[in-house]
Structures are given as C-alpha cells and as structure tokens.
Chains A and B, each alone.
Chain A
Amino acid sequence: MGGPITDVIHLVHAPVGCGYYTWGTRRHLGDLYNWAAPGVLENEAHHRRHCYTTAMTEQDIIFGGVEKLKRALLEAFRLNPGARGAIIYNTCSTALIGDDMEQVAREVSEEVGKPVFACASPGFCGVSQSKGHHEFNFQFYKWLLEYRETHPEVVLPEEERTPYDVNLIGEYNIDWDEVVVVPLFERLGLRILNVFTGNARLSRLFQLPDAKLNIVHCQRSATYIAELIKEGFEIPFVRVSLFGLSQTAQALRDTAAWFGEEEMARRAEEIIEEEMAAVTPALSWYRERLAGKRVAIYVGAPRVWHWIKVMEELGMEVVACMTTFGHREDYEKIVSRVKPGTLIIDNPNEFEIEEMIETTRPDLFLTGLKEKYLVRKFGVPTINSHSYEKGPYAGFRGFVNFARDLYQAVCAPVWEIIKKDF
C-alpha cells in the first residue's frame, strides 16, 4: 500500500530479494519523475525507477542491521535530494532479529528534516497480504497524527479548506484508473485532496484528516483508515464501487446525495447521462458478443463482489467466485449477489482451481498473473484482473476497455482452433 506513494524513497530493510520483487512490477506508474541527467527526466516514474534495499548479509543478520539501515537511509537521501521523505519496510528476517526501525526513522527524520515512516511488515504476520493492508492503515494513521502534532505546518490551513474537499480512499491507480476516476468527481464540483494511495504525494497525505468526506473504493484494504479518520476527526465516509455502469452511476449519486445540494445532484445526473451516451454504442456491441458467456472470478476480495454486477451488465453469468484474502463480510456480500448454486471457494490452491474449471467449465476466468497461464492450458481464456491486460478498467470509459479485453479473451479464434481435430 505504500508503493504507489510517489514522492518518497521506499527502502526495504531485508535481504536482497524482498526489495527486488517490489521493483519493476507495475505497468503504469505515477506522474512524478526525477532527473536522469541534465535536462532528461527518468524513463520510469520516480517511485519505482529505483529499488533501495539494505541487502542484508549473513554478518548483518548475526550482528544486527540497525546501523546499516541508518547509514543506508542517510545515503539514499543524499543520492535522492528531491525526495520528500521515506518509507522503510522490514520483512521476516529483520523483524525476527528485532532491528529497531522506528528509532532509525526518528533519528534520520530529525537529521534530514524530512518525514520518515517505519512500516513493520514481516511476511509471517497475518494470513495474507490483507494483514499488511490493515497494518499499513493503522501504523500510517498513528504516525500521521504524531507528525501533524509535531509539525503543524503540514496541516491544511483553515483558509485554504473548502466545503468540497474529499479524499479518495483505497484507490491504487492500477493502470492509471485515476485518469478516469478523478475527473468524474471533479466534475461534480469536488476537490480531491488526496488519493490513498494511488499516485499520492506524502506531503499531501498529511492532510487526509482535513477533508470533509472520504470516498472509499477498495473496501477491504482501506476502510480501516476511513474508519479511523471518522473516529478521530468525525469525517464521515461513503462506500462506492467504480466498476461498471450502474455502480459508477450509483457512486456519483451517493456522493452528491451526501452533500445534499440540488445543484450537485443535477450535475451528477448530467455526468451520468453524458458518459452513458459516450460508452453505450461500444458497450452494446460487446454485450451482444459476450451475452450468455459463463465467467469465474478469482481476485483479491472486493473486486469479486464489485464485478459480479459488472459481468451481469454485459449479460454474462457468474458461475464461480473465489478470493485470496476475503474476510467474512466479503463473502456475505458475494453470497448475497450471486445466483444460488454458484461455486464459492476461499483462498483456493491451484488444484482446487483446476477442479473448479473441470466442474463449472467457464468460458472465461478472471484471475491473476500466477494462475492465468495454468488455466489457459485447459482451453479457458483468462484475464489478469489484478493489474489488468490493457487498462484502465474503472469508471464509465474504463469499462469499455474492460469489455474490450473480455471480448478479446473470449472471442479469440485460438480457443476454437484448439477444439478442432487435425
């Protein structure tokens, strides 16, 4: 969850692999760049252009890595003078040896005069990455409050606040979803103070509690912080889904309704009408070709229940649902949205996925990178539903991209060719 924050150094305090795998894994990144050379901006956005790690060795593990971490962080700041701060993460090994990261963060922060957030994230914590999301919310919020107290200058001054300041929470800018999503809310007349954490700036994130409303998209990974802000600052939040036509329309209506202004409600209807008119011709073309197809969904958690409706909007039938890290409430929502008889599996392994394919015989499987090649062997097309094939997929116009990728997957001639004898 820290990864999409663009203006900081992300330093992984661990043996080399833990940092290595966080690097170069996303297709589209932020819009903030560093200089590669005089007059030349770096090729890849600042926050994932470089990978910083302490690359712990055996000696470091035996004698402790605190000093190395401190030196490494100070060096990283010197090599990257534009960075507005840093986030340091520990992993299994550095957590087990008990390196005091928070102390290092405090010391370095004082020395360089920039914020440093220490995020404890050992891999063995919790059942899955869901615990990591949870922890980031809590730890970050706690740190943010402390920082606001000691550095009152980061708080948004009263005179700069507007009644229409909102945060978009749980939106990670996957394949630049923000290009679609942010303008929708801006056209309502809102000012997006922060996106937590897609293409975010740490310097702005301090102002999370200065908004009037939080709009929560991913309701598994980020409702926590919305609830904390609500508790601490009495800032309410609305839950929205920004996938598909009816859900995106509902999101705009719900947001406008919260403000209770007729003018905004009218604007919401205008936006919906205009966007619907723009996407309907393409979507009906795709719907004609996708209607009746059977689809299985296996993604993080909320996307499963967000997407059931989306698939139905294209006339497709959901035959199986699985999540990696869904909690009880996610499953309750899934169950309430699917037809009776739909197969639902919690955190399936590959064998269970294979059995699901054999028993439900879907025409399409929405899944992640690791599983997509396995299921293709069974003659079932798949789509990378974590980082998309060719996104963005969110919002009205993103939905056209989504429908196009679904169509390309399902209707590619190769699936017919492999069925024929030769």
Chain B
Amino acid sequence: MINEVKEIPVTGITYKDLRLEKKPLSPAYVPPPRELVPSAKRAVCIDPSRTCMPLGAMWATLGVHRAIPFVQGAQGCTTYVRYTFARIFREPASIASASFHEDAAVFGGRKNLVRGIRNLVCRYRPELISVVTTCSSEVIGDDIQSFLAEAQELLEEEFGPEVLDLTRFVVVNTPSFSGSHVEGYNRAAREFLRALARKSGSSSERVCFIPGFMMPGDIRELKHLFSLMGVKHSVLFDISETLDAPLGPPQSLPYYPRGGTRVEEFVRAGDAQAIFSLSPDAGSAGAKWLKKRYQVPSFVLPMPLGVGNTDRLVKTLSEVTGRGIPEEVRYERGILLDAMADTLHYTMMKKVALAGDPDFVAGVFRFVCELGMEPTYVLLGTKSASAAEEIWKVAEEYGKRPVVMNGGDQFEWEQALKEDRPDVVLGHSRCVNIAREIGVPLVRFGFPVYDRVGYQREPIVAYRGGERFLARLVNAILDHHYPDDRTHQ
C-alpha cells in the first residue's frame, strides 16, 4: 500500500440507509381540477411565497447597531422568525418576546410590555428597541404608545432619568393579516425614520440607502461601489456586519456584533443629500416619508440586478452627487458585459421561470432579458403593483410575453411549470421541490435562501455581483443541459 489511510470508525446509520422506499398515497396521478388552479379562484392558499409582516420589521431592526426587536405577541411569533434567521444566516439573532399567555389575551398586553421592556433595558442595555406588534396584539387592540410611556416612566423611576438617554424606541405596527414580510420591512423603514430622523439645518454630503432584503454580501458590494464613486454613504438597516460576524469571543456580555447602522445615522438622515430606496416594495415608504417631511430628494429604483438596473443606480447617483463615473466602475461594468458575451450561447433562448419577493423578481427580470433568456412564468409572492408595472415595461422593451402571477401562491406557479417546463428556475429555497420534480436546475436568489452555504456572502447586486450571479446561472445550465461537454470551448 502506498498510502496508509487512517481507519475511520464505522458509522451507525448512513445517509444511504435513510433512502427508504417511497410509498404512493394514491394509485395514480390525478390532475387538479382546472378551476382550482388559479390562486385568485381559491380560498385555500397552497405554498405561499411570502411570510408574516413582523419578520420584515425584525429583519430591519437587526440591521441597527445594538438594537433588539421586542415582539408584542406570543412566543411563536419570535421563535419562528429566529429559526428562519438562523437558517438563512447561520448567525445568532437576539429578539425579545412579550410572551403572551391567556391573561394577555384577556386583559391585554400592558403588563407584558411594561415588564418586558424593563427587563430588556436593564439586562441588555440596547441602544434601540423596536416594538413590533403581531396579529394577536393588534386584534386585542393594545395601545402600544401608552404602554410604552408607562414603561419609560417606570424605567425612569427605577434607574433615574439618564436611562432614557440610553435607549431609543420605535413602534412598528405589523399585523400579519394586512400584508407580508415585505410590507413589514417597508413599514419599519418609515417608522424608524419618522421616530429618529431630524434636520439640523447644516446640509450633509451623505447619501442614505435602504437595501431591503439584500444579503450581507450584497450590502458589502454596494458599499464597494459607493466607495469607488467617492460617495459618502449610510446604509440604513445594514445587516452586513450584524448577521455575518466573525468567529471569536465577544468582548463583553451580552453578545452584540460590532456592525449595524448607528442610531445617529438615522437621526442625521434628515440632513442627507438624498435617500435611495433600492427595493421599491421594502423600504420606499421610508424614502418617501423623508422627502415629505424634510424635503430630502428621494429616489426609488429597481434593485440593482444586472446591467441596466445598476446603470440606473450609478447614473442617478452621479447626477445627485455631481461626481463623475470613475474608470474603475466602467471597468467592472465591462467585465460583466464580457461575461455576458462569453456565455450568450448558454443563456440565449433559454426558458426561465422566476419566483420570489417582488423587488428581487422585478430586478432579475430585467437581467434575464438582458441575457437573452425567455421569462415564462413570473411569481410575485407578495402582490405589488409597482413590480408588475416594472416587469411589463421591461417585457415590452425586450419583446417578451411572460405570465405574471401577482401575489399568487407557488401551487399555481408550479402547475404552470409542470405543463410548460422551463429550462431553468430562478427562485428561493422553497422552490427546490418543484425544480427537482420537473427535472430542471434551480438557481437560488432572494428570500429565503437557507440550503446553500455562503449564499449570504456572495453578492448578486451591482456589476460584480451580476457577474457572480451569471456564473452561477450558467454553471447550473452547463451541468444540467450539457453534461457530456467536457470542454465548453
């Protein structure tokens, strides 16, 4: 023997042992009744591509330095969101719960909020607490503002008036029956700015950005782009260093990651040179409010996915700040274009189905058109007039005729895909089953992606992110559609 490999002890039950025989539930396939396929014609929602509103508000809060969401509801409203974050980011996420029990349901959640906030301030000393409401507290009709005033009074009594300087409060009303997680983020964007932003009179050169549900890698990529352009920037709700932190012992207890947007940055947003919402459905309410209140020029742009969308961001930014477009940015753009030219034989005329949050899907829709792909069925998990409008505009520009399922569920989208199979699916992790069943590759993007390692760090936005995303897309096509080609020359 040339190499003596160390003997590895036997495994008890191997993964292969778990490949059990599948037992069919019924003797044969029965196609669903036609009239029940469109989600609009059904009372039952099957496989929603959206989740609850409080998640959006919690996501936004976790992008703020030393901030903790306080969820006014039962424990599950916190637990399941924390599970979701743990899956997506593989990072800790501290979220407090009012822990509603029967007495709260009967007498209201006053005691829960007052005592909960007291404990949270006293133990965690957060710089900001967002009070996030839930279905139950909204149905009961909790008067959050008066509860909060009482909590603050108690804090002052117990710890002295200085304690009130320690922690800022923002209330975000998020009854899940009125909208999805996308709307939850949107409301948080508005409420944070409404509660915190001020105008001091001295104008600033800073530009604010609201990223929406972008991943840490995306936000880093945006910051890189802004730095190349010499734009002084504040990314509001910046999860890039809160939900992606290095391994190493925390400097002090309790654990807080070093990153996150500082409260001060929200305060100074009133003086900003401009504010950009890069995710129209998740964040534009904040940008619009800032314009209305402090006349800060606000821009709501499609998510910078692909060439055209990124061009729009770069050009608008250049006009607003009066800075030219530097050579480095043109260079990165050129690399993306180079990659598109080198892969066009794999992307052109390929049928692609899209699913996810409206901002992601609308952004990617333009990108796939730029790649010469044929978008077929487009599912917007959360209903959005603006995303649908953007998609139709782009479709007309490129002469495409997609079917847009605005606010539909994945069941109706799936049925369409089964009848008219695309060559590739672009969607989130909940699209795995359908992609496998129809035997086409799934390229993951958007919310939520939890079954890939490193997705959260690999950008898909801006020119460089676009090039990475394109590479992932093309490699999936290579593996699946041309498995026997060893050269790809």
Q: In the complex, A166→B82 CA distance in Å?
A: 38
Asked whether any CB of chain A lies closer than 8 Å to the CB of B36, the reply is: yes
Report whether A400 and B83 are in contact in the complex, using a CB–CB cutoff of 8 Å: no
Asked whether any CB of chain A lies closer than 8 Å to the CB of B23, the reply is: yes
CB nearest neighbor in B for A95? B105
Asked whether any CB of chain A lies closer than 8 Å to the CB of B90, the reply is: yes
Report whether A25 and B83 are in contact in the complex, using a CB–CB cutoff of 8 Å: yes
Asked whether any CB of chain A lies closer than 8 Å to the CB of B437, the reply is: yes
Interface size on A, residues (CB 8 A): 103
Q: In the complex, A378→B248 CA distance in Å?
A: 6
Report whether B100 and A92 are in contact in the complex, using a CB–CB cutoff of 8 Å: yes
Which of B25, B36, B87, B181 contacts A33, CB < 8 Å?
Answer: B25
Q: In the complex, A23→B10 CA distance in Å?
A: 34
Asked whether any CB of chain B lies closer than 8 Å to the CB of A78, the reply is: yes
Report whether B101 and A11 are in contact in the complex, using a CB–CB cutoff of 8 Å: no
Interface string of B8-42 (1 = CB under 8 A from A): 01111101011011111110111011001000001
The residues of B that contact A24 with a CB separation of less than 8 Å are 429-430
- Chain A contacts with B in 1-51, Cβ cutoff 8 A: 7, 11, 14-21, 23-25, 28, 31-44, 46, 49-51
Interface-side segment among A66-74, A248-256, A301-309? A66-74
Q: In the complex, A35→B373 CA distance in Å?
A: 30
Report whether A17 and B176 are in contact in the complex, using a CB–CB cutoff of 8 Å: yes
Asked whether any CB of chain B lies closer than 8 Å to the CB of A277, the reply is: no
Which of A123, A176, A400, A401 contacts B100, CB < 8 Å?
Answer: A123
A44, A93, A127 pick with most chain B CB within 10 angstroms: A93
The residues of A that contact B93 with a CB separation of less than 8 Å are 370
Asked whether any CB of chain A lies closer than 8 Å to the CB of B173, the reply is: no
Interface string of B106-142 (1 = CB under 8 A from A): 0000000000000000011000000000111001100
Asked whether any CB of chain A lies closer than 8 Å to the CB of B201, the reply is: no
CB nearest neighbor in B for A40? B437
The residues of A that contact B274 with a CB separation of less than 8 Å are none
Report whether A81 and B177 are in contact in the complex, using a CB–CB cutoff of 8 Å: no
Report whether A400 and B176 are in contact in the complex, using a CB–CB cutoff of 8 Å: no
Asked whether any CB of chain B lies closer than 8 Å to the CB of A328, the reply is: no
Report whether A92 and B135 are in contact in the complex, using a CB–CB cutoff of 8 Å: yes
CB nearest neighbor in B for A16? B48
Asked whether any CB of chain A lies closer than 8 Å to the CB of B86, the reply is: yes
Report whether B10 and A400 are in contact in the complex, using a CB–CB cutoff of 8 Å: yes
- Chain A contacts with B in 119-145, Cβ cutoff 8 A: 122-129
Q: In the complex, A33→B124 CA distance in Å?
A: 47
CB nearest neighbor in A for B109? A124
Report whether B44 and A75 are in contact in the complex, using a CB–CB cutoff of 8 Å: yes
The residues of B that contact A418 with a CB separation of less than 8 Å are 247-248
Report whether B44 and A20 are in contact in the complex, using a CB–CB cutoff of 8 Å: no
Report whether A16 and B50 are in contact in the complex, using a CB–CB cutoff of 8 Å: yes
Q: In the complex, A57→B178 CA distance in Å?
A: 6
Report whether A124 and B46 are in contact in the complex, using a CB–CB cutoff of 8 Å: no
Report whether B92 and A32 are in contact in the complex, using a CB–CB cutoff of 8 Å: no
The residues of A that contact B437 with a CB separation of less than 8 Å are 36-37, 40, 42-43
Interface-side segment among A189-197, A211-219, A349-357? A349-357
Report whether A38 and B79 are in contact in the complex, using a CB–CB cutoff of 8 Å: no
Asked whether any CB of chain B lies closer than 8 Å to the CB of A156, the reply is: no
Report whether B248 and A379 are in contact in the complex, using a CB–CB cutoff of 8 Å: yes
Report whether A397 and B12 are in contact in the complex, using a CB–CB cutoff of 8 Å: yes
The residues of A that contact B255 with a CB separation of less than 8 Å are 350, 354, 374, 377-378
The residues of A that contact B102 with a CB separation of less than 8 Å are 124-126
Asked whether any CB of chain A lies closer than 8 Å to the CB of B163, the reply is: no
Asked whether any CB of chain B lies closer than 8 Å to the CB of A180, the reply is: yes
Asked whether any CB of chain B lies closer than 8 Å to the CB of A282, the reply is: yes
CB nearest neighbor in B for A404? B11
Q: In the complex, A123→B11 CA distance in Å?
A: 40
The residues of B that contact A350 with a CB separation of less than 8 Å are 92, 94, 254-255
Q: In the complex, A400→B11 CA distance in Å?
A: 6
What are 12 A-B pairs at a CB distance below 8 A? A16-B176, A17-B52, A17-B176, A41-B22, A41-B24, A51-B47, A52-B44, A71-B43, A96-B136, A123-B75, A355-B253, A374-B92
Contacts beyond the supplied A18-B176, A123-B73, A124-B100: 19 A-B pairs with Cβ under 8 Å: A16-B180, A20-B48, A20-B50, A34-B26, A35-B30, A36-B418, A43-B436, A60-B177, A92-B100, A96-B139, A97-B139, A176-B13, A180-B13, A281-B10, A351-B253, A369-B86, A371-B92, A377-B255, A414-B247
